[in-house]
Structure 1
Amino acid sequence: MVETLGFHPFYETVSLGAKKHYRWARNHLKHPLATKDQGYRWVDCTTDISTLDTQYIANMLMKVSDYAVNNFIQQMRRRISILERPLVTARGDGRSYIYANFNPKYAQFSVTILRTFYNFCMTYKLGTDRVTPAQILGLTDKKYSMKDIIYFK
């Protein structure tokens, strides 16, 4: 991966008069390791990484995963009933759209509430500790309860 990154540009140099800046080149790179469920993936970097070491970039790219996003989307679909897929009827001749009359405004409210709960209240095991995604990112140093979120404590 380090050798590939040595000649693979994620950005291009653009000159505006005497000034130069970097712009995303939309130059995807095939990830060297396939996953069981997705096969080979393509990775890209949308930010300027010209100051970072090639070894550091290679380590970051090896950790690329969309499991956290997929997990959140699956939880969102399971926990918010108006976002569920249509159900197949018992006879199998059609689909039941029992949640089809939802209001998108309230669906957005529900997703926002779930996202806040997911990021600040729901813990995961990381080593020997149980932490929230917000703690992993360094946004907070504690796990919040629903009361903390509701009453802004």
Structure 2
Amino acid sequence: MAERGVVSASADYRRWFSKNAYNPGILVKLVEIFRTYFNYCEVGHDKMTPAMRMGLARGPVAPEDILYFEPRPRPGRRKSKSEAVANPKAETPPT
């Protein structure tokens, strides 16, 4: 996905990107997911992840927990219009 464009002789020397993502932002997101996976999910020969060795985690994290992570709303934070429309029955904290 990070391949450089190939210059084509038959297409008036225009660059042709055959296998890359066309959007560098997508590559950044993929690298971030892989980095998080290898630091928190991948267990080494000592049965610990790199995050466990550094004291950032108590145990290996399931990949599903990373991919489907949704942060908890902070207490006292007002909901945006899109959040209020998506979940109209949820209580809003007093302001």
Q: With the length of structure 1 as denominator, give the TM-score of the two structures.
A: 0.34
Are 2:2 and 2:21, in contact at CA under 8 Å, matched by a contact in 1?
Answer: no
Alignment of 1:82-97 (within 5 A): 82-84=1-3
Alignment of 1:42-61 (within 5 A): none
CA distance, structure 2, for counterparts of residue 118 and residue 84 of structure 1 = 23
Deviation at 1:148, TM superposition (A): 1.9
Taking structure 1 as reference, are residues 84 and 138 closer, same or farther at Cα in structure 2, changes over 3 Å only? farther
> In the alignment, which residue of structure 2 is the partner of 1:111?
31
> In the alignment, which residue of structure 2 is the partner of 1:120?
40
Q: Read off the aligned partner of 2:33 and give its amino acid letter.
A: I
Any idea what SS the aligned residue of 2:34 has? Answer: helix
Are 2:42 and 2:49, in contact at CA under 8 Å, matched by a contact in 1?
Answer: yes
Are 2:43 and 2:49, in contact at CA under 8 Å, matched by a contact in 1?
Answer: yes
Any idea what SS the aligned residue of 1:141 has? Answer: coil
Higher relative contact order (CA 8 A, sep 6+): 2
CA distance, structure 1, for counterparts of residue 33 and residue 21 of structure 2 = 20
Where does the alignment leave 5 or more consecutive residues of structure 2 unmatched?
Answer: 6-15, 71-95
CA distance, structure 2, for counterparts of residue 132 and residue 101 of structure 1 = 30
Runs of 4+ in 1 over 3 A off after TM superposition: none
Q: Read off the aligned partner of 1:114 and give its amino acid letter.
A: F
Deviation at 1:106, TM superposition (A): 0.4
> In the alignment, which residue of structure 2 is the partner of 1:144?
61
Match of 2:50 among 133, 138, 144: 133
Percent identity of paired positions between Structure 1 and Structure 2 = 32
Q: Read off the aligned partner of 2:62 and give its amino acid letter.
A: S
Any idea what SS the aligned residue of 1:98 has? Answer: coil
Q: With the length of structure 2 as denominator, give the TM-score of the two structures.
A: 0.52
> In the alignment, which residue of structure 1 is the partner of 2:79?
none
CA distance, structure 1, for counterparts of residue 3 and residue 39 of structure 2 = 21
Number of residue-to-residue matches in the alignment: 61
Deviation at 1:103, TM superposition (A): 1.1
Structure 1 or 2: more strand by fraction = 1
